[in-house]
Amino acid sequence: MGEEKLSAEEIAIAILGWLSTESDMMGRFLSLSGLEAEDMRALVSDRGFQAGLLDFVMAHEPSLLAFCSAYGLLPEEVNAAWQKLSGPVYGGTGA
């Protein structure tokens, strides 16, 4: 194939880019997260924020599939990024 895979962080940032083109989805994300749109620029490199972006698409299969279609990714790639950034819920050391 030769294509370089996106890192977990790059996938999270791609989700933010995708949300910026989907006003209904962005509104839903902001409502669920309690964030204001102007807060996101400062948070873009925050691992917790990135994990939250992945949580958002992973929690709704139609959103996951729409994002994957828009960016040419497999759901398994997004799941792997989600696992990496979210880390274990209990125990372990995270990433």
Domain ranges of the chain: 8-86
Cβ atoms 55, 48 nearer than 8 A: no
Q: What's the rounded Cα separation, in Å, for the pair 59 and 68?
A: 14
pTM of the entire predicted model: 0.85
- Token pair belonging to 72: 């040419």
What helix, strand, coil percent values describe the chain, rounded to 5? 70, 0, 30
pLDDT tens digits along 47-94: 999 999 999 999 999 999 999 999 999 999 999 999 999 876 544 444
Cβ atoms 46, 52 nearer than 8 A: no
Residue 22 sits at φ, ψ, to 5 deg, of -120, 90
